[in-house]
């Protein structure tokens, strides 16, 4: 302060900090494309850890890859391995307990958009899915929207608050191309069954109206470049076990 000299220990700490910073930038990458004297990178370290894990667990994965999903789903050890891979890769959308969230399917029930066989589940994980519900609000109009909502609500055995289900049934013919004439859905298209009590985006009349009016877009990212085929096999077994035990 004022003209008082800085304490010598403070100056030495300052000099050491500068020296350490320069040494760090020489040894490690920190300036543009300069790779550092050791060629270290966080991506490289991650890849080394992945390679080490694959070397350690590769034989185990290979052994389980030869066993059918149905059999693996009954065995606690491979099921646990699949659960750990799921927890590390899939929990952000489906939750750590796989019960999903609005817009993300619950994997523990028996309601499946694209089919529940081991091959269908594996295909969803490997190649991903792109679901699209086109907006119908402009085409239906205000009253038409209310009527279709009333009809959709009635399909699951409930009594709608507003709208005319009979009039909505006539307009629903446009929707039957995907959902079927009886509203039971189509796994080939990922069109949900509207006659049960399972709703991906919410089953209230307000949420159903929003879905029909605005449409929905859902994406399940492909994991073929994230997980190995053997890891996908184990995750498939774990997911299959959730609704088959």
Single out the residue of 214, 7, 203, 244 nearest to residue 109, CA to CA: 244
Single out the residue of 215, 243, 212, 245 nearest to residue 112, CA to CA: 243
Q: Give the three-state DSSP class for 216.
A: strand
Single out the residue of 76, 64, 66, 82 nearest to residue 121, CA to CA: 82
CA distances for 199 relative to 90, 103, 104, 133, angstroms: 20, 9, 10, 14
Whole-angstrom distance, CA of residue 25 vs CA of residue 235: 42
What percent of the chain has pLDDT above 90? 82
Residues 6+ apart with CB under 8 A from 198: 106, 109, 111, 192
Q: What is the pLDDT of residues 24-50, one digit of tens each?
A: 988 888 888 888 888 888 888 888 998
Q: What is the pLDDT of residues 118-158, one digit of tens each?
A: 999 999 999 999 999 999 999 999 999 999 999 999 999 99
What's the average model confidence in pLDDT over 55-80? 94
Write the burial class of residue 109 (CB in 10 Å: 0-12 exposed, 13-18 middle, 19+ buried): middle
Pairing of strands 129-133, 216-220: antiparallel
Q: What is the pLDDT of residue 34?
A: 85
Q: Give the three-state DSSP class for 218.
A: strand
Q: How confident is the model at residue 1 (pLDDT cuts 50, 70, 90)?
A: low
What's the average model confidence in pLDDT over 216-232? 95
Q: What is the pLDDT of residues 83-117, one digit of tens each?
A: 999 999 999 999 999 999 999 999 999 999 999 99
Confidence (pTM): 0.79
Domains of the chain: 1-39 (no CATH), 69-128+222-242 (1.10.760.10), 132-220 (1.10.760.10)
Q: What is the pLDDT of residue 141?
A: 95
DSSP annotation string for 101-122 = BTTB--SSSS--SS--SHHHHH
Q: What is the pLDDT of residue 81?
A: 95
Q: Is pLDDT above 90 for 54? A: no
Whole-angstrom distance, CA of residue 206 vs CA of residue 226: 37
């Amino acid at each position: 302060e004022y003209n008082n000299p800085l304490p010598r220990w403070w100056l030495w700490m300052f000099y050491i900090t500068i020296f350490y910073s320069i040494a760090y930038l020489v040894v490690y990458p920190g300036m543009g494309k300069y790779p550092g004297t050791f060629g270290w990178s966080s991506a490289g370290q991650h890849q080394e850890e992945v390679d080490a894990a694959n070397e350690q667990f590769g034989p185990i994965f290979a052994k389980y890859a030869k066993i059918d999903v149905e059999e693996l789903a009954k065995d606690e050890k491979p099921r646990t391995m699949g659960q750990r891979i799921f927890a590390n890769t899939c929990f952000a959308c489906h939750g750590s307990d796989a019960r999903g969230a609005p817009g993300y399917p619950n994997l523990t029930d028996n309601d499946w958009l694209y089919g529940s066989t081991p091959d269908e589940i594996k295909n969803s994980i490997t190649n991903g899915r792109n679901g699209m519900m086109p907006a119908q609000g402009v085409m239906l109009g205000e009253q038409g929207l209310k009527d279709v909502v009333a009809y959709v609500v009635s399909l699951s055995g409930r009594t709608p608050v507003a709208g005319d289900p009979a009039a909505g049934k006539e307009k629903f013919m446009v929707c039957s191309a995907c959902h079927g004439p009886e509203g039971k859905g189509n796994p080939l298209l990922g069109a949900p069954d509207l006659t049960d009590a399972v709703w991906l985006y919410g089953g209230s009349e307000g949420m159903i109206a929003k879905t029909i009016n605005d449409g929905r877009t859902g994406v399940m990212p492909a994991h073929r470049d994230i997980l190995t085929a053997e890891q996908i096999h184990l995750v498939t077994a774990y997911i299959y076990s959730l609704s088959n035990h």
